[in-house]
Structure 1
């Protein structure tokens, strides 16, 4: 069974008020298209809940009422029930949500139709090293639930980008890089070593930044004093040593990025992910890149299915 851990679908009522790719509403078409290339199961969710991934004036994805999110998750659970061989789903959560929001997200996960959470790598300009995210990470740790770290509609790293194409392919890529890096630097993997964090977008550029993260932890330019020292990070060892505790997907058309992730994270921490829908057509290039990796067939099978089965307990 080949498993895609990164796909999105949206209910019909979300398609009318918001500009969204039509592929998001065609669940049978997605299943048929993926079966044609050998992908039998897709883990779907929404990084905006019932909101809009395309920035819309006056729409605040983080202000969605509980009853609206509950209705959205009921729809997602219904899609899984209708396609049990081909779909699993994720609960959307705001990592800075209030007690009611987080309690509702936890209960939705406990109800059994979901296999993890999806949250944003930045929220209204705030990154995940903010201590206020601690309640969410404590909850995810207690539930032993995987968490997909996904760029938001309006990423902090995309501030100033007015062309939506640049926002999609540059701003969100950079937001994943910074947001997941902030998860490491914020000490969440230190405090909750059982956390199961998945960096989407192939982890952004994290595979290239291990040494840069360590320079944040121990900046040599301040080692001899002469400047105001920064407060210590909540880590007991260099940040690069926590990277192997992360998972990354393959949702990037770059074979070079995939090879770098193989070196930094390891074949046992890479998950097949296409971001399709909405990126229809990404399935074949991603599968070809995995087939082209210089690894034993056992490792390719792990990336295609075994790692996802283990992480999501499928």
Structure 2
């Protein structure tokens, strides 16, 4: 749990870089027709020029507004909030990991192409990240390569495919491809467990999402993935890495005291905190200070979860107003670290 000196040479921020935002197109083809069958596909029920509802089959999933699909509106909001660049990533409900891989590949192609249309409003400021059919590593690598050639700047993946976590051999193959191509990866939790206890108070989002991200970081560490992948892999976990930071001491203790059952990593879990990034969406000054102390001030990136209701508004406020961060750390978190992660 080391502290690393801040990166040198950062003296000013000309605008923040937000690595965690989402888009939803203003409509798309009927996915059952495009994919060749199946039920309960997402579709968009448009209620006005500025509002719509994401539907999954006949169920309402999420109400959204025009800033999900309008590049021009996003740019106006960015100007208002002193955000220079947004990474624009898929909304995880469209991943389709539970479908046959050929269907998920067709869906990914549709949404990836629509993302480019949204970001065409200013490709220098709106940087699209694609989605891939992660259940099939060959298809995932092929779609990633197609998207990078078309103008995407990275990839967002869900944190698991059914019961396969990030230490699954096929997913590791895809991450190796990303490392070889020097493509940044953003990991977002999705498909949280459900039960009557989790259907109150948005508990799936308030407890399930942090737990999912924590579990998948552990899968990469205890499953030996970071021992297999080159240090050059640029991978970032959403929502501050979930509950991982608070419980790393417990994981280290378990690794030392029960090596017969806890993981296959070559080093203690805390030895790997410099192998990944986390975003800053933790909404609390002390929690953000803990993250910076844990992974180092060069490994935390501004993220907001814009434009969804649980996102941070205004962007970067927990960084900018944080009395526990130095001026240089704030500069690194607001923009400098993201430039490294994105290869700008």
TM-score (norm. length: structure 2): 0.78
Residues 142-181 of structure 1, C-alpha deviations (whole Å, 9 max, x = no match): 11111111011x224x566334711122211211111122
Residue 187, structure 1, aligned to residue 231, structure 2: no
Are the equivalent residues in 2 in contact too, given 1:123–1:155 (CA < 8 A)?
no
Residue 139, structure 1, aligned to residue 153, structure 2: no
Separation (CA, whole Å) in 2 of partners of 1:77 and 1:49: 19
Residues 261-314 of structure 1, C-alpha deviations (whole Å, 9 max, x = no match): 011011111100000111376232742444314333222111111111111022
- From 62, 70, 74, the equivalent of 1:30 is 74
Q: Which has the higher contact order (CA 8 A, sep 6+)?
A: 2
Separation (CA, whole Å) in 2 of partners of 1:50 and 1:132: 20
SS of equivalent to 1:202 = helix
SS of equivalent to 1:213 = helix
Separation (CA, whole Å) in 2 of partners of 1:214 and 1:306: 30
Separation (CA, whole Å) in 2 of partners of 1:199 and 1:150: 6
SS of equivalent to 2:304 = coil
Residue 272, structure 1, aligned to residue 326, structure 2: no
Query: What root-mean-square deviation, in Å, do the aligned CA atoms of Structure 1 and Structure 2 show?
Result: 2.6
Partner of 2:10: none
Are the equivalent residues in 1 in contact too, given 2:132–2:143 (CA < 8 A)?
no
TM-score (norm. length: structure 1): 0.85
Residue 149, structure 1, aligned to residue 165, structure 2: no
Partner of 1:118: 156
Separation (CA, whole Å) in 1 of partners of 2:99 and 2:77: 30
Residue 20, structure 1, aligned to residue 20, structure 2: no
Note the 1:1-314 alignment, pairs <5 A: 1-13=15-27, 14-16=43-45, 18=55, 19-23=61-65, 24-48=68-92, 50=94, 60=98, 64-109=103-148, 111-152=149-190, 154-156=191-193, 158=194, 161-163=198-200, 165-192=202-229, 193-218=231-256, 220=257, 222=258, 229-230=260-261, 233-279=263-309, 282-284=312-314, 286-314=316-344
Separation (CA, whole Å) in 2 of partners of 1:297 and 1:165: 35
Separation (CA, whole Å) in 2 of partners of 1:143 and 1:238: 29
Give the unaligned 5+ runs of structure 2.
1-14, 28-42, 46-53, 56-60
Q: 1:285 to 1:31 in 2, by over 3 A?
A: closer
Separation (CA, whole Å) in 2 of partners of 1:159 and 1:267: 37
* Number of aligned residue pairs: 297
Residues 69-119 of structure 1, C-alpha deviations (whole Å, 9 max, x = no match): 11211111122222224300111134432422332223322x151221111
Separation (CA, whole Å) in 2 of partners of 1:205 and 1:244: 17
Which has more helix, going by share of residues? 1
